[in-house]
Structure 1
Amino acid sequence: MNAYTPAAVVYCPLWRRLLALVYDLLAVVAIVMVVGYVCQRLTGGNLISTDGQVQIAWWYRPLQALVVAAYFVASWLRGGQTLGMRPWRIRITAADGGRLAPAQALVRLVVAALPLLLLELAPWVGLRGALWAVATAWVGGLGWAAIDPQRRAFHDVVARTQLRRMG
């Protein structure tokens, strides 16, 4: 018998999800710092140049995105939990309670990260306006969990995943 039988399912409340995100933010900052340090060492300190204007190596941002994405996808596929989800006893599952398929993890990641594309609005609306656009999109996507009967955020609905409380 599956540990997540329909009678035993306890969906994760939004506040737990948000606290887990705060913990994960700390892990992501640490990952970004380590990757930045390694890249600085490998380039002899030439990763970022300031010849009148800040110039960052073209490959650095995509590398950072790839490493952060790998952290989330690997965590979800390996044990169904990121570092932030563990203390709050949250596990991500497929809609049927089983393990996530790699395609589900990728869809979840892409849909959750889509608001970052709004940063491209910065030349027209300024950095502050672009950041507000990203924040608004994320609030809307996560706020979906407040009205969804299964407490799923928008990216969970699209990927057919759920966050469930353990124990």
Structure 2
Amino acid sequence: MNTTHALHAGFPSASFLRRFAAWIYDVLVAAAIIMLSSALALAFAALLTATGMLTLAEGQDHAGWLNNSPFYSLYILVVLGLFFGWFWWRSGQTIGMRAWRLKVQNRDGSRMSAKQAAIRVLTCLFGLGNLWVLVDFKNRRAWHDYAAKTELVTLSKEANQLYYWKDL
């Protein structure tokens, strides 16, 4: 086991309150991502209209067309899933998790795989899986932690800084 893995294997499990605080931060980032993704989707719809590939119904605008499309909701979910999955896989921390010194990792302290990140995305239930921490007193693991065989730990200030500079 390399020293980075050993360094992070011994940190305590994250409490519900820290998870919730990080979730609040990440909801704000997710809202910004949804706005940016929606702007790109609107621009794409406008491009389709300008090229004649899309004709809107009388009185319908591009936003209305997007909202009536089942693909728009799926598109937003995929974008958010890729955002969270990328950060979990790449560094073990989203922006909110970094602010609250949380890190998701394998139980031995190693970085999770892309497959584990995908499992976490599919089972986190938009953060509601964290409620399980309130019942699981012994391990303090959420549903998605069990599903992906990962854990969420609270890093020391020094370890959080180490990961920040290492991942740049």
In 1, Cα distance between the equivalents of 2:44 and 2:115?
33
**Alignment partner of 2:7 out of 3, 7, 14:** 3
* CA 1:47–1:99: 2 relative to 1, 3 Å: same
After superposition, give the CA deviation of every residue in 1:14-38 in whole Å (9 maximum; x if it has no partner): 1000000000000110000011111
**Alignment partner of 2:82 out of 67, 70, 74:** 70
**Percent of residue pairs bearing the same amino acid type:** 28
**Alignment partner of 1:157 out of 136, 146, 164:** 146
| Counterpart residue type for residue 142 of structure 2 | A
SS for the counterpart of 1:9 is: coil
Which residue in 2 is equivalent to 1:16? 18
TM-score, normalization by structure 1:
0.75
Larger Rg: 2
TM-score, normalization by structure 2:
0.74
Which residue in 2 is equivalent to 1:145? 133
Root-mean-square deviation (CA, aligned residues, Å) is 2.0
Deviation at 1:142, TM superposition (A): 2.0
Unpaired runs of at least 5, structure 2: 47-60, 157-168
Which residue in 1 is equivalent to 2:166? none
Indicate conservation of the 8 Å contact 1:108/1:159, yes or no: yes
| Counterpart residue type for residue 103 of structure 1 | K
Unpaired runs of at least 5, structure 1: 117-134
In 1, Cα distance between the equivalents of 2:109 and 2:67?
46
Count of residues in Structure 1 that have an aligned counterpart in Structure 2: 137
SS for the counterpart of 1:150 is: coil
Q: Which has the larger helix fraction? A: 2
Indicate conservation of the 8 Å contact 1:92/1:164, yes or no: yes
In 2, Cα distance between the equivalents of 1:77 and 1:20?
17
Indicate conservation of the 8 Å contact 2:8/2:155, yes or no: no
4+ residue runs over 4 A deviation = none
